[in-house]
């Protein structure tokens, strides 16, 4: 199709809108922005809603107020502070990068893009966000919000999840990046989060509705083009609730792989509940009793249909298992949905 190209004055129009409508977010405090706060908030915001991140960021800031404090912390404490946000490799990379920054750069995030990109867990987007928002560098920061806004604004029909579509939009962002690059990047994020949302965009509230190709062509609910996600793999997860003298048995997951180095109640994955129960009984040497809890947890690429049973006559298996009281397991990093199960079984430990 023939694209309707917006005029080059629109970035300034967007910045004027941002000056009046910028979101009040805890990591935006101060001018210039704190590079550490920008970094932590951007990592937390990956795959996580802004409202969900706010209390985690505030808690993190109290617990690890500086890069040096984060670098000196134990990994278990870092994972515990991250508990509930998911995608725990993000927390591990924050910790690794903090140690590298403390050792190589004296506790200050470097201002050279090559150095920033070399840090664990920092990709092109996060580097651009830190450099533009905290250091005033003329750098783009292209995330999902930016891809969506530009696809609609310029009527781009390329798949934004494929490298060609992303490259096309990144080139456009770099061409239209104004002098206030950091504010511009944040303005695009706010516009994408509040107005140019994925479904049913609020075009009547958009400061760029007069320049938007998708709106003029009636494609605002069609664009952006995205490849459908693969169907998530579903598994039955059977968990054992073993209680002894007011404590429950927990297992430490391996140091590599999904939810690595996190604690869980003993569990197995299977294709059916019947098979899962048999596997648990073989593992623990006891007998599954009443099923006390069911829960479905959705990860990015898989779904767990969880079922927990009171176990009787079981013996503590060999390996990384330990008995914890409620007070004790509240202080350890619990794997994903196991925090919910641990909270649910507290009354059973008090009986």
Contact present, 239 and 307 (Cβ < 8 Å): yes
Q: What is the largest CA-CA distance in the chain?
A: 74
What's the pLDDT tens digit per position in 12-31? 999 999 999 999 999 998 77
Per-residue pLDDT for 200 more than 90?
A: yes
Q: What integer is the mean pLDDT of 40-67? A: 96
Active site residue 42: yes
Reading the block at residue 94, the tokens are 């924050």
CATH 3.90.79.10 location in the chain:
233-349
Phi, psi (degrees; rounded to nearest 5) at 266: -50, 130
Predicted confidence at residue 1, as pLDDT, reads: 41
- Give the architecture (CATH level 2) of 9-217: Orthogonal Bundle (1.10)
User: 336: pLDDT confidence band, cut at 50, 70 and 90?
Assistant: confident
pTM: 0.84
Q: Which of 42, 211, 264, 281 is catalytic?
A: 42
Residue whose structure tokens are 């946000």 = 85
What's the pLDDT tens digit per position in 274-318? 999 999 999 998 899 999 999 999 988 899 999 999 998 877 788
Q: What integer is the mean pLDDT of 116-142? A: 97
For residues 343 and 256, what is the distance between their CA atoms, to the nearest angstrom? 26
**CA-based R_g, the chain, Å:** 24
CATH: 3.40.50.10490, 3.90.79.10, 3.40.50.1820, 3.40.50.300. Which one for 233-349?
3.90.79.10
Predicted confidence at residue 27, as pLDDT, reads: 95
User: 2: pLDDT confidence band, cut at 50, 70 and 90?
Assistant: very low
User: 319: pLDDT confidence band, cut at 50, 70 and 90?
Assistant: confident
Please list the residues that pair with 237 across neighbouring strands: 269, 306
CATH 1.10.340.30 location in the chain:
9-217
Q: Is 236 helix (H, G, I), strand (E, B) or coil?
A: strand
């Amino acid at each position: 199709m023939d694209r309707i190209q917006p005029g080059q004055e629109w970035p300034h129009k967007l910045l004027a809108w941002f000056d009046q409508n910028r979101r009040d977010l805890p990591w935006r405090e101060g001018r210039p922005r704190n590079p550490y706060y920008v970094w932590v908030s951007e990592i937390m915001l990956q795959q996580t809603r802004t409202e969900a991140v706010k209390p985690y960021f505030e808690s993190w800031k109290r617990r690890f107020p500086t890069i040096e404090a984060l670098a000196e912390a134990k990994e278990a404490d870092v994972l515990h502070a991250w508990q509930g946000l998911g995608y725990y490799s993000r927390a591990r990379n924050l910790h690794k990068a903090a140690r590298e920054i403390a050792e190589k750069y004296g506790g200050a995030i470097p201002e050279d893009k090559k150095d920033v990109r070399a840090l664990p867990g920092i990709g092109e987007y996060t580097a651009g966000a830190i450099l533009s928002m905290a250091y005033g560098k003329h750098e783009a920061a292209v995330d999902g919000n930016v891809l969506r806004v530009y696809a609609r604004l310029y009527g781009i029909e390329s798949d934004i999840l494929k490298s060609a579509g992303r490259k096309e939009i990144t080139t456009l962002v770099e061409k239209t990046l104004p002098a206030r690059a950091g504010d511009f990047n944040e303005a695009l994020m706010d516009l994408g989060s509040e107005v140019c949302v994925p479904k049913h965009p609020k075009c009547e509230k958009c400061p760029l509705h007069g320049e938007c190709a998708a709106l003029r062509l009636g494609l605002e609910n069609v664009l952006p083009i995205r490849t459908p996600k693969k169907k998530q793999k579903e598994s039955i997860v059977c968990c054992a609730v073993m209680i002894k003298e007011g404590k429950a048995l927990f297992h430490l997951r391996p140091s590599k792989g999904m939810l690595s180095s996190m604690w869980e109640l003993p569990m197995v994955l299977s294709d059916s509940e019947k098979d899962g129960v048999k596997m648990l009984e073989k593992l623990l040497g006891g007998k599954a009793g009443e099923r006390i809890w069911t829960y479905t947890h959705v990860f990015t690429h898989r779904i767990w249909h969880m079922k927990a049973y009171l176990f009787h006559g079981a013996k503590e298996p060999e390996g990384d298992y330990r008995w914890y009281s409620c007070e004790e397991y509240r202080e350890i990093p619990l794997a994903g949905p196991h925090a919910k199960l641990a909270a649910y079984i507290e009354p059973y430990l008090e009986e």
